[in-house]
Structure formats: C-alpha cells, structure tokens
Chains A and B, each alone.
Chain A
Amino acid sequence: MDFDKEYFNLGVLDTLSYKNTLIHRLDARTKVIATFAFIVTVVSFPKYEIAGLIPFFLFPAVIFSLGDIPFWFILKKVLVVSVFAVFIGIFNPLFDTHVMYDFLGIPVSGGWVSFFSILLKFFLTMCSALLLISTTSFPGICHALRKLGIPEIFISQLLFLYRYIFVLMEETLRMVRARDLRSFGKRGQGMSIFINLLGTLFIKTIERAERIYHAMLSRGFSGTIHFVKRDSLRKGDFLCLSITGVVLYIFRTYGIVSLIGKQAERMF
C-alpha cells in the first residue's frame, strides 16, 4: 500500500467518473440500484454454483465497452484486493473433500468447486463496485443516495469528506515525503514519528475546518446546506432498470449455460 500509488489510483478512478459516455449519462440512482441488484443476485447463488454465474459476465462486459473503462486497470485493482477472499476461500478445498464432479477423469472435490465459485463471485462483485465508481461521479452517487432516502446530514458531510480527501492527501503526501527523505532505512518510520505526523496533520485539519466554516459563513451559511435541485430521471433510466431487472431474473432462474451446453452437445 504505497501512498503515492494509492493516491494516484484514487485520482484515476475519480477522473474516469467524470467522462461522458452513454453509461455516464445515466442517472446515478439507476446505476446504484442496478449495481446493488446485480451484487445481491450474484451473491444469492449457492455455494457450489459455477455455471449459473457465467452469464453475469455480460454486465461488466457491456459496461466496460459502453463506458470506455480501461479493463486492465480495473482488473489489477480487483487482484490487489482479492487477498482476504482468497485467503479465507482457500480453506474450502482443505475442509470440503467429498468428490463432486468428475472432470475429464480427474475427481474434483466440493471444496475446489466452492472455492472457484467464491472467486467468480468475487470478481463479479468487485468489478461491479469499481465500475459503479468509474461511471458515476462520487457527488452523483451521494445525491442519488440522498434522493433514495439517506439523511441529509450524512450526505452533506460525505460530500465534504470527498472534497477534502484530495487536499488532505496532498498535505499528508508532502509530510510523508519529508519524513521519508529524512529517514534512512526504517529508522525514521517508527511509531513515535508516525504519531507526531498524525497529530500535526490533525491540528492542521481542525484549523482548515475553521477556515472553511468561515468561508461558509461569509457566503451566508446559516445552518442548512441547500442542494441544487436537478432531477434527471429520463426514459433511458427506466428502460435500463427494467432491462437489468429482467435479465438478472432470467439469468438467475434459468440455467442458460447448461441449456447452451446441451444444445452444443447434441450438435456435435
């Protein structure tokens, strides 16, 4: 978790989210609801399901291409965060050893099947989360959540958080670099220096909050933040949501893969 690299990644995703493609133009509510429905559907498959998950790759494929999102970049991010899931999942083959399938002569235990299922689910769910943020600006997501019922206090401070992450990360970056340039090997990176760094950063944060508050007062702030009303649900959104819902239902209920497979088998 190199600070520089994380900051860079954050910036790339953030920049991507402001693009202008068909997917980007959809209302944020549509995308949030669709993503959630997708994740819940994928996750609802039982332990040993593999084939049923395959059709779901259609969703990321379409969004990657329509939304102009760089595939390898997202893939790398998914790989980086797969540690926990893989770490826990790998125990499945160890504990579940009853044989489930006979794969071209090799017996495959249930544990491996469920592990693979976990991997597939992981890939699908992680992709959908990253694709959501790549195709929807964070403020857009916040406004969507607000319109969907999340309390305004939460949303207001969330927007501030987002706004100042970049400012604070740059400040932190400067301090971290200064520390690193003056520490040789690990000597300067100990806990006490870290605590000093955090303490200073915190004090600067509070002072900044003070200045921001002053700026808000100077422009007439009197307690509530007024949000610009921009209602943007269009026909495209409803169409998109309905199609998504129908396709998710079909994929979940019918074993498309085995149908295709059986047809193919009969043909050959």
Chain B
Amino acid sequence: MHMSDALLSPAVGVTFWAGTLGTIAYCSKKMKENLDEKMIPLMGVTGAFIFAAQMVNFTIPGTGSSGHLGGGMILAIILGPYAAFIVMASVLTIQALFFADGGLLALGCNIWNLGIYPCFIGYPLIYKPIVQKGMSPKKILVASLLSVFVGLQLGAFSVVLETLFSGRSELPFGTFVLLMQPIHLAIGVVEGFITAGVINYVKAARPEILESIAEMRPLSSEIKVKKVVLALLAIAIIIGGIVSWFASSNPDGLEWSIERVYGKPELPEHETGIVALLRAVQERTAFLPDYTFKKKETLKEQETTGKEEVASAKGEEAPRSDANAWPNVEAGTSVSGILGSAMMLSLIFLIGYGIKAIKKKGAKRRNGISHPAG
C-alpha cells in the first residue's frame, strides 16, 4: 500500500526523500559506468510496460477478488537492480502525479518502500542465489515467491514505521502491523506467481531477450552481501537516532512500542548528545515546526481566554511538553475557530470565484473584437 502525505510529518518525509534521492544518484552513477546505449530507451519502455501492466486486473484464484501487479521484482530480474530502482522510481512518480497515488512528499517513502527492498534485498540476497544454481521454472517460482514475499513484508513494515514516526495516526504499532503484514502476505503470493509466470513465459517464448538484456547491464552490478549489510547498519543507526529524538519528545506516540522493545519509556543513553543537539537545532531553526509552533498557538489561545497560569510555563523547555500543549475543554476558542474558519472559507471562495469571473469577462471582450479566424 502507498504511504499518504496526510499521515506524514515533514521530518519523516524529508528523511526518506533524502534516502531515495541518494539511491537514485547512486544508481545513476552505477549505470553511467559502461552504459549500453540501448539501456535508456529500454528502461523507459519497460517502465511504460510495468505501468500498463499495473492497470490490468485479474481475478485471484480462490477469492474472486481482483488484484494488480507491483512490479519491483520483475524489473529487478529483467533489468538488474540499479536500472530497476530507477524505473520503479519513475513509474511511482508518474502515479503520484497523474493518479495522486500517495502524494508528492510521500513519494520519497513510496519509492523507498517499493524499490529498495525488491532491488537491493530481494533480488541480490534471495532471487539470485537461488537461481544461480540452475534456472528451472520451479526454481524461478520459488525464488520469485520468496524474494517478493520478503520485499513486500519489508515494504509494508516500513509504512508502519513511517506512520508511527510521523505521529499523525493513533493506530498503535501492534494493531497496524497485524493489519498490514497479513494483507501483504496474500499480495506477495499473487505477485510472486505473476513474476515467475511472466519470466518463465518469456524464457520459453524468446529466451534470447532476457539474455541480451542481461548482457547490457553495467558490469559492476554484482551486489555483495557485505555492502548490503553495511548499508542496513547505517540506516539502522540513522533511524535509531530519529527514534530516540522522537521518543524523548513524543512519549505518547512511541511509549508503547519503545516500552515493548526496551522495557523503559525512554532511551537514557541517547538523552544527551544527539537528542540535545537536535533539540537545540529545533529550537533555533524550527526546522520541525510541529512542537514549537503548536506551543506558540496554544499560548495565544490560552492568553486570550485568560488562562494565565499556563502562560507562565512559557519559560520551560521542551517539546516534551506536547502533553501540555493540548488545550483543555475550550468552549470559547471553538466558537471563534468555527466562525473564523467559515469567514476565511467564504473569503477564499469569493476570491476564486472573482478571478474566474474576471477571466470570463476578459475572454468575452477579446472574442468580441477579433475577426473570425480560419
């Protein structure tokens, strides 16, 4: 499933965008070395193929419901991991723009979720090793099923983490996981069969196609297990840093899961150092406006309704006070809020309508003067 903008916080969105862009740059660099000229039109057209293929539906045997193809694994098998990641990113970009699938900020997450795992984990660590020892249709099927399964599970889990770290949804970690993983298990089985099916079909009908494309791949497309493990470690460290920052400033959201994992509501080792630094950055630049701004607005409201006790708390630090930022039952503010909203919306509507009316008048005037053209 695709991540959605509305469930994201800027921090998570930008982080994953950074990861995605970095990977795109890396893949592009890798492709440039020893690029076969034919690769670029091939990649483009294959991407269009995946796009079209995703729109064809079919009935899933046994359930009668319809399903669709994801495509990351097929791409990785045919084009190799670097090209496949680029193509997958492109397909998702088109979907995000033309079909509003997820959103533009979430696009960074979606490319990561649907691209990294099949291309850099599923394919090199699972599919290739299995198929290396002989490419019988059965082996291909097993390899496809396993690699797709792992890829989708990781992708689904990433959605859970992204939603969790963003703090917009109240869905607890456990429930979310229980929701996402089984669904993606089913999707994984179907996609694994399709992937294997298409590969086997093409191998049977036109084996030279897959071979000739394989020859076109950049030579250094061998991804070593060591590299992958190192990369995963690096990612884990970064995520750990973000987690701990969030943990100390948003206890409510992550408390539950952190407690489950560590047995304590916070990670004391990280209290100083990274977290303190981030907090300082936050207060100075308001890079993540979440907590600072919320405080300011709450204070404004509280001042006007006369709750001065809280105002004095302004001096206290920390976004840890997210709990305090919730106003208690504020009858006064809700009325002014609604009134203000209504007026604002009417104003906006008038502006929009006014612009249209002015345009129409302008067009009428122009049409009236010009002669009928050929």
Q: From B96, B104, B291, B293, give the contact of A36 (CB < 8 A).
A: B104
Q: Are A216 and B198 in contact (CB under 8 A)?
A: no
Q: Are A46 and B290 in contact (CB under 8 A)?
A: yes
Would you list which residues of chain A between 131 and 164 have a CB under 8 Å from chain B? 132-133, 138, 141, 150-154, 156-164
| Chain B residue nearest in CB terms to A121 | B6
A178 at the interface (CB under 8 A from B): no
Q: Are B44 and A157 in contact (CB under 8 A)?
A: yes
B121 at the interface (CB under 8 A from A): no
- Of B166-174, B236-244, B259-267, the stretch lying at the interface with chain A is B166-174
Q: Give bound CA distance, A247 to B189, whole Å.
A: 49
Chain B residue numbers with a CB within 8 Å of A122 are 4-6
Q: Give bound CA distance, A210 to B216, whole Å.
A: 13
Chain B residue numbers with a CB within 8 Å of A133 are 97-98
Chain B residue numbers with a CB within 8 Å of A141 are 97
| Chain A residue nearest in CB terms to B296 | A253
A172 at the interface (CB under 8 A from B): yes
A246 at the interface (CB under 8 A from B): no
| Chain A residue nearest in CB terms to B30 | A153
Chain A residue numbers with a CB within 8 Å of B143 are none
Q: From A43, A102, A205, give the contact of B45 (CB < 8 A).
A: A205
Q: Are B103 and A39 in contact (CB under 8 A)?
A: yes
A195 at the interface (CB under 8 A from B): yes
Q: Give bound CA distance, A176 to B97, whole Å.
A: 25
Q: Are B104 and A216 in contact (CB under 8 A)?
A: no
Q: Are A125 and B169 in contact (CB under 8 A)?
A: no
Q: From B4, B9, B194, B340, give the contact of A259 (CB < 8 A).
A: B340
A260 at the interface (CB under 8 A from B): yes
Known: A65-B353, A255-B300. A43 touches B10 (CB 8 A): yes
Would you list which residues of chain A between 58 and 72 have a CB under 8 Å from chain B? 58, 61-62, 64-66, 68
A91 at the interface (CB under 8 A from B): yes
Q: From A102, A216, A253, give the contact of B41 (CB < 8 A).
A: A216
Q: Are A261 and B339 in contact (CB under 8 A)?
A: yes
| Chain B residue nearest in CB terms to A136 | B97
Q: Mark B348-359, 1 if CB is under 8 A from A, else 0.
A: 110111111001
Known: A44-B10, A153-B31, A199-B201. A164 touches B339 (CB 8 A): no
Chain B residue numbers with a CB within 8 Å of A95 are 170-172
B341 at the interface (CB under 8 A from A): yes
Q: Are B55 and A258 in contact (CB under 8 A)?
A: no
Known: A13-B98, A44-B289. A258 touches B336 (CB 8 A): yes
Q: Give bound CA distance, A197 to B49, whole Å.
A: 12
B14 at the interface (CB under 8 A from A): yes
Would you list which residues of chain B between 181 and 221 have a CB under 8 Å from chain A? 190, 193-194, 197-198, 201-202, 205-206, 209, 213
Q: Are A264 and B55 in contact (CB under 8 A)?
A: no
Q: Are A61 and B351 in contact (CB under 8 A)?
A: yes
Would you list which residues of chain A between 14 and 69 have a CB under 8 Å from chain B? 14, 35-36, 39-40, 42-52, 54-55, 57-58, 61-62, 64-66, 68
| Chain B residue nearest in CB terms to A150 | B24
Q: Are A261 and B53 in contact (CB under 8 A)?
A: no
Chain A residue numbers with a CB within 8 Å of B44 are 156-161, 163-164
Chain A residue numbers with a CB within 8 Å of B352 are 61-62, 64-65
Chain A residue numbers with a CB within 8 Å of B52 are 165, 168-169, 171-172, 201
Q: Are B48 and A165 in contact (CB under 8 A)?
A: yes
Q: Are B289 and A54 in contact (CB under 8 A)?
A: no
B373 at the interface (CB under 8 A from A): no
Q: Are A85 and B4 in contact (CB under 8 A)?
A: yes
- Within the complex, the shortest CB–CB distance from B58 to chain A, in Å, comes to 4
Q: Are A223 and B37 in contact (CB under 8 A)?
A: yes
Chain B residue numbers with a CB within 8 Å of A162 are 94
B175 at the interface (CB under 8 A from A): yes
Q: Are A65 and B297 in contact (CB under 8 A)?
A: no
Chain B residue numbers with a CB within 8 Å of A13 are 98
Q: Give bound CA distance, A117 to B341, whole Å.
A: 13
- Within the complex, the shortest CB–CB distance from A98 to chain B, in Å, comes to 8
Chain B residue numbers with a CB within 8 Å of A61 are 348-349, 351-352
Known: A61-B352, A132-B97. A161 touches B304 (CB 8 A): no
Q: Identify which of B49, B68, B326 gathers the most chain A CB atoms within 10 Å of its CB.
A: B49
Q: Are A62 and B355 in contact (CB under 8 A)?
A: yes
Q: Give bound CA distance, A151 to B27, whole Å.
A: 10
A-B contact pairs, 14 of them (CB 8 A): A51-B341, A81-B99, A81-B101, A85-B7, A122-B4, A125-B5, A154-B90, A161-B44, A161-B87, A189-B58, A209-B41, A216-B41, A258-B300, A260-B344
Which of B's residues lie within 8 Å of A, judged by CB? 1-2, 4-10, 13-14, 21, 24-25, 28-29, 31-32, 35, 37-38, 40-49, 51-53, 55-61, 64, 66, 68-69, 86-87, 89-91, 93-94, 96-101, 103-105, 163, 167-172, 175, 190, 193-194, 197-198, 201-202, 205-206, 209, 213, 288-291, 293-294, 296-297, 300-301, 304, 325-327, 329-331, 333-341, 343-345, 348-349, 351-356, 359
